[in-house]
Amino acid sequence: MVNYKEHLGNYRLLKLLGESKLARVYLAEHIHLGTQAVIKVLHAQELQKEHRELFEQEAYILARLEHPHIMRILNFDLDEGTPFLVMSYAPGGSLQMRHPSGTRVPLTQVNNYVQQIAAALQYAHEQKIIHRNVKPKNLLIGAHGEILLTDFSIASQSRSMTGGIVGTPTYAAPEQMYQQAVAASDQYALGIIVYEWLCGHVPFQGTFAEILSQHYSAPVPSLRQQTGLSSAVEHVVLRALEKEPEQRFPSLQAFAKAFQDAVDQQERAARRISEGKGDEPSSAEQTAMVLRDTDEEDTDESEQSPAYTPSQPLVEDNIKHFPLFRGAPRWRDILVIPGYIVSLALLILLAYVLRPPTSSGAATPGGALSPEGLNVVLFIFLLWVFVGTWMLLAGAMLGWWRGCCAMFLTGLLLYILYPQALGPILVFTSTTLLCACLSGVLLEYRQYRRQRSFLASWGILSLAFVLSSSWMMFLLEIVGGPFLSPTLRIGEGGWMFMNGPIAALVMSAIDCAHCLGGGLFLAPLVAGIEVGLAQLDNFRKVRMIENE
């Protein structure tokens, strides 16, 4: 049943073939020529700019690619503002339909598929196109039994690509989790498909988060133990599934040649055994014979292979890890930084209005803290809990330079509103600047090193809080003077010495508790916020994949 309309351009829509989150796919017939084609129509509700750009990108890429194993584009047009794509029809369906999960494919047939798919991907890579979504569903069977690669909607037109996790998690390479898809990422996806065809199942299974974790760190289960294939075949497949892209084959062409050699080697060994001409070569001998030529080609082709560089900056990260804002200035900073400043300034002004009176003195004649003085100390402690959390969030959420801008402008705003408090404002501004800079720089370095964990965030935030708090205590309790009141000189009025030894000991204990509390309470609280954001983001991605 056609649920769009009966005609689209010069084509009559015959039936709905499939549907994705982005578009519907119809079987159509040319009105005048009678030839069949496939028409891909963008959903009417998906006419947002980003979806339309993806759709138009697919048309642009397909128009540039002319290869016998890549789906041909026949036309791209608009119908009442809705874009649609006309492509050649593949009557054999997809390889996912031909070989559903749980079925094993003979080795020679797998090799036939690999040679065609690798040739298509190699050609795309030579045109600087990375597919990023190679899977059996996107491998169609043409009228003459040839394999056709399709669905370039999320392909990248560069040697590397930054962005969120793209493609299907089951077939996505580890580096795609960190927005660094390279040409070797397509090789990894093809390796997963080959493993699935030979074993009847993919190597990594489970929930969305479990699959991503296994791609990144879990070893690939032995192929030979499950299938009885030669070690040479297993070695080729496992090399394509290496975690680091530079450890895989230097190109799809090299992978296809090594796989062909491994299959030929196994067939020759089987013939020798059946003809009674000798035993099967040992595993080491098979692997050495297959990879002899491949290893020699690595040095020649490695220069053509895009290198995987973990040090590439993360410009945009769809996985919610601190800092949430990184990279060069953007227009959204005009709203983000002032919003943070206003909220923090309001919090500080509210605390100033609710501050307790201190007219009766901070200490008794014996040197102990008076009730009023204790109220002041407790108020300062609680105030710094809130301000400290906001201070940690500045570097954690905004990054080091955005956080520093927010803290500096906050101090400037407070001085404009209350110029009499210049000393305390200087203490606040310098302390928050130090904290935002330390936390932001260290968290961005953690992103660079890909050491994303709750404990790593806890340690970084604790260090930033303790160092910045120590700086504040040094200014207020030892230097004193103008940081407390305009009438005092440096060294006068320091809280640590002005009220006797007992008050000094109490204040020292409170200072230690303050730093310890920040490290044991505030830092894990902010780190926990990051974990919560990451979990929510994973849940959103799971729902998105389920909808697709």
Q: Which of 67-81, 165-179, 427-441 shows the lowest per-residue confidence on average (mean pLDDT)?
A: 165-179
Classify 333 as helix, strand or coil: helix
pLDDT for 515 beyond 90: no
Per-residue pLDDT band at 194 (split at 50, 70, 90): very high
Question: Which of 92-96, 368-372, 488-492: highest mean pLDDT?
Answer: 92-96
Q: Tokens standing for 167? A: 């493609």
Residue showing tokens 């299907």: 168
Q: In terms of CATH, what superfamily is 95-304?
A: Transferase(Phosphotransferase) domain 1 (1.10.510.10)
What is the Cβ-side half-sphere exposure of residue 295, based on CA atoms within 13 angstroms? 7
Instruction: Say which DSSP state 312 is in.
Output: S
Mean pLDDT of all residues in 532-539: 74
pLDDT score for 365: 52
**Separation CA 314–CA 326 (nearest Å):** 8
pLDDT score for 311: 34
**Separation CA 160–CA 424 (nearest Å):** 49
Phi, psi of 86 (to 5 degrees): -110, 125
For the residues of 43-83, what is the DSSP string, one character each? -GGG-SHHHHHHHHHHHHHHHH---TTBPPEEEEEEETTEE
323: nearest Cα among 527, 78, 547, 82: 527
pLDDT for 464 beyond 80: yes
Question: Is 60:39 a contact under the CB 8 Å cutoff?
Answer: no
pLDDT score for 188: 96
pLDDT score for 503: 63
The helix (H) or strand (E) run that includes residue 172 is: none
**Separation CA 24–CA 530 (nearest Å):** 37
Specify the pTM: 0.56
Average model confidence (pLDDT) across the chain: 78
pLDDT for 87 beyond 70: yes
Locate all alpha helices (DSSP H) within 250-323, ordered by sequence: 252-274, 283-301
Q: Which of 194-208, 230-244, 275-289 shows the lowest per-residue confidence on average (mean pLDDT)?
A: 275-289
Instruction: Say which DSSP state 476 is in.
Output: I
Mean pLDDT of all residues in 68-85: 85
Instruction: Say which DSSP state 518 is in.
Output: I
pLDDT score for 173: 92
Q: Which of 266-270, 360-364, 415-419, 536-540 shows the lowest per-residue confidence on average (mean pLDDT)?
A: 360-364
Question: Is 44:31 a contact under the CB 8 Å cutoff?
Answer: no
Burial class (CB in 10 A: 0-12, 13-18, 19+), 189: buried
pLDDT score for 185: 92
pLDDT digits (tens, 9 = 90+) for 290-339: 555 555 544 444 444 444 333 333 223 345 578 877 767 777 777 778 88
Per-residue pLDDT band at 484 (split at 50, 70, 90): low
Question: Is 524:516 a contact under the CB 8 Å cutoff?
Answer: no
Per-residue pLDDT band at 164 (split at 50, 70, 90): very low
Cβ atoms < 10 Å from Cβ of 397: 25
pLDDT for 271 beyond 90: no
What are the residue boundaries of the structural domains of the chain, listed by start? 7-88, 95-304, 333-547
Class of domain 7-88: alpha beta
pLDDT score for 1: 39
> Which residues, in sequence order, are bridge partners of residue 73?
87
Cβ atoms < 10 Å from Cβ of 217: 9
Residue type, 261: D
Residue showing tokens 């407790």: 378
Q: Which of 204-208, 337-341, 379-383 shows the lowest per-residue confidence on average (mean pLDDT)?
A: 379-383
pLDDT for 117 beyond 90: yes
Q: Return the sign of the alpha-carbon dihedral for residues 402, 407, 408, 409.
A: positive
pLDDT score for 341: 79
> Which residues, in sequence order, are bridge partners of residue 27?
15, 38
Per-residue pLDDT band at 547 (split at 50, 70, 90): low
Asked if the domains 7-88 and 95-304 are classified in one and the same CATH topology, the answer is: no
Mean pLDDT of all residues in 444-460: 74
pLDDT score for 109: 96
pLDDT score for 393: 84
